Amino acid sequence: MGIKMLFLTAGLLLVPVAAYPGQTAEILLDECQGGALKDEASPMRLVCAGYLIGMLDAASLFFQLNPTARLFCPPDGGSARQAMLVFKQYMDKHPEQLHLPASIIAMQSLKDAFPCVPE
Nearest to 101 by CA among 34, 14, 4, 43: 14
pLDDT of residue 42 exceeding 80? no
Domain presence at residue 67 = yes
For 38, the domain range is 2-113
pLDDT of residue 110 exceeding 90? yes
Domain presence at residue 81 = yes
- Between 15 and 76, residue with greater pLDDT: 76
Look up residue 34 and give its amino acid.
G
Per-residue pLDDT, 7: 44
Domain presence at residue 118 = no
Which residues, including other chains, have CB under 8 Å from residue 95's CB and lie 6 or more apart?
none
Domain presence at residue 94 = yes
Nearest to 93 by CA among 74, 112, 114, 73: 112
Q: Give the pLDDT band (50/70/90) at residue 6.
A: very low
State pTM to two decimals: 0.74
Which 3 state secondary structure label does DSSP give 57?
Answer: helix
Give the integer Cα–Cα distance in Å for 78 and 113: 12
CB 57 within 8 A of CB 83: no
Number of structural domains found in the chain: 1
67 phi and psi angles, rounded to 5 deg: -60, -25
Domain presence at residue 102 = yes
Domain presence at residue 41 = yes
